[in-house]
Structure 1
C-alpha cells in the first residue's frame, strides 16, 4: 500500500486539481489533504474527488509544513502502508513514475527514501540533489552579492557535475517529492515539528540517511513548479532564515563532523562513477 499527503494553505484550486489528478491516476492508495488554511474554503472543492481515496483534514490553524504531514504519516503507520509520499501542491506526474519508484524500492530494501528526477515544466532539470548544508551554503549563497561565488558554491552543493543521469546516493533530497519507506519513518519519527517551514525536509532526509540509503533515481521523473517563495516574500524569507538557524543549532554550525564525513563519502563515491 502507498499513501501520500499534501499540506494545503490557501492553495490554488487549479494547482490542487492537477496534483490530485496525478495521484488518482497512479497506484497510490490514499491521499491525505491536510488543510492549514484559515478557513474551509477548499473543502467543497475537494469534495468532488473520490472520497474512498482522498481524505480532507482541516486543522483550523496553521500547524506548519512538517506537523501537517505528520498527521498523514501517522495514518500511514496505522494502516501499515509500505510507502508514504510527501508531495508539494505544485507537483504533477504520470502514473508510471510512482510505479517505477515502487519497483525500485521493492528490489532495494536498504533504501529508505527516493527522489526521482525533478523537472521544470519545460523539462529542464531542477538541481535538487544536495550535500548536507553548511552555513555558507544556506546563508552565503543567499546574501553574499558576488555572482561567481554563488554559482561556484551552488555547482558543488547541488552536485551539478554529476550530470543527474545516474542512480546516486545523495545526502539531501528535495522535500517536493519524498518517496519514503514507512518502516523507516517509524524509526526516525517523521518530521521534527520544531521546524515550522523550510529545512524540515533536510532534517528528515538527514535522519533517514543515518538508518538507510537516500537515493536519487532518474529513471522516473516528475514536474515541479518551484516557486522559490522565500525569494519573493519577506515573510517566507523570515521563516527560511529561522529554520536554517534551527537546523544549525540542532546539528552544528562549524563543527559538524557527521556532515563533513557524509559529504566526503558522497563526493568520493560519485567521483568513482564518473
Structure 2
C-alpha cells in the first residue's frame, strides 16, 4: 500500500485553511514516505487562489476545473481514476496530524478485512468532533441541527447516543453505522467497487449513504491513532440555502434507506 491518491473538492475555499490543509498533508506524506497523486476539484470559486497554492514539486497534481458545481460527491468521483492503493477523501478545512497517514496505512496493512478507516477528530477549539454516528431518526437530526439550546439540553443523552459518545474514545471501534466524509481513508478498490458517492446527493448525507453501501462489502473502523483537526461548521449555521440542501438530502437518504421518525 505504497501509492496514495488524495481528492479535495473546492467550492469558494478559504485560501488560508486550504493551504494549511495542504501543508499538513505534506508533513503527513513525508512521515509516511508517500508521494501522493493529488486531485484538486474546483466546483467553483477556486480559480483565483490556485496560483497561490503550494505543494511539493514531486507530487503529481491534477487541477480539475470548468465542470461547474457538480456537488461534493460527484466532485470526488472525478478522482476515481487515480492510481493509489489508498484513496484519501479530504476536506479543504481539515489538518491531519503528522503521523495520521502512517497510522491509517499501517492499520489497513494489518487488517485486510478493513476497507475504510475513520479518524479521531477535534474541532479547532479542542472539543471532540464525533465523526461516527448511529442511524438517526428524523427527530435526532432536528435536535442536533435546528433545535434551541434548551431543547438540546433536555435530549442530551439521546444526542450523545446518536454520536456514539458511549464508545468513541481511545480504542478502535469496528463497524460504526455511519461516518463523516470530512476525512476517509479508503482502500481504493473498495471505493471503486461501490461506484464512489451516489451522484443523486448534491450535498449532505452522501457520506452516510456511502457508509451503508461500503459496509455491505467490507468493514469500517474508527482508529483513534489517526488524528485530525476539522475547522468545518454545521448546516444550520450556514444560512437557509444550506438548510434547504440539508433537508432535501435528508429526504433522499431516508427515501433510499427507510424512514425513522422517532
TM-score, normalised to structure 2, is: 0.89
> For structure 1, which segment, 210-219 or 25-34, has the greater mean C-alpha deviation from structure 2 after superposition?
25-34
Distance of 2:6 and 2:55 partners within structure 1: 18
Measured at CA, do residues 28 and 152 of structure 1 come closer, stay the same or move farther in structure 2, by a change above 3 Å? farther
SS of 2:62's equivalent in the other structure is strand
Distance of 1:129 and 1:58 partners within structure 2: 32
> How far apart are residue 143 of structure 1 and its match?
4.3
Alignment match, 1:30: 37
Deviations 1:71-91 (A, max 9, x none): 01x222xx2x21101111110
Distance of 1:42 and 1:60 partners within structure 2: 17
Alignment match, 1:239: 245
Q: Is the 8 A contact 1:3 1:28 kept in 2?
A: no
Alignment match, 1:264: none
Distance of 2:106 and 2:199 partners within structure 1: 31
> Counterparts of 1:1-274 in structure 2 under 5 Å?
1-25=3-27, 26=29, 27=34, 29-38=36-45, 40-46=47-53, 50=57, 52-72=59-79, 74-76=80-82, 79=83, 81-145=84-148, 146-169=151-174, 170-254=176-260
Measured at CA, do residues 21 and 53 of structure 1 come closer, stay the same or move farther in structure 2, by a change above 3 Å? farther
> How far apart are residue 222 of structure 1 and its match?
0.7
Aligned pairs, number: 251
Measured at CA, do residues 83 and 232 of structure 1 come closer, stay the same or move farther in structure 2, by a change above 3 Å? same
Q: Is the 8 A contact 2:13 2:45 kept in 1?
A: no
> How far apart are residue 16 of structure 1 and its match?
1.0
> How far apart are residue 69 of structure 1 and its match?
0.3
TM-score, normalised to structure 1, is: 0.85
Deviations 1:1-35 (A, max 9, x none): 11111100110111111111122221351111000
Q: Is the 8 A contact 2:97 2:226 kept in 1?
A: no
Q: Is the 8 A contact 1:110 1:212 kept in 2?
A: yes
Distance of 1:162 and 1:52 partners within structure 2: 38
> How far apart are residue 52 of structure 1 and its match?
3.7
The answer for unaligned runs of 5 or more in structure 1 is 256-274
Measured at CA, do residues 176 and 28 of structure 1 come closer, stay the same or move farther in structure 2, by a change above 3 Å? farther
Distance of 2:136 and 2:213 partners within structure 1: 14
Distance of 2:94 and 2:53 partners within structure 1: 17
Higher helix share: 1
> How far apart are residue 171 of structure 1 and its match?
1.2
> How far apart are residue 154 of structure 1 and its match?
1.0
Measured at CA, do residues 124 and 112 of structure 1 come closer, stay the same or move farther in structure 2, by a change above 3 Å? same
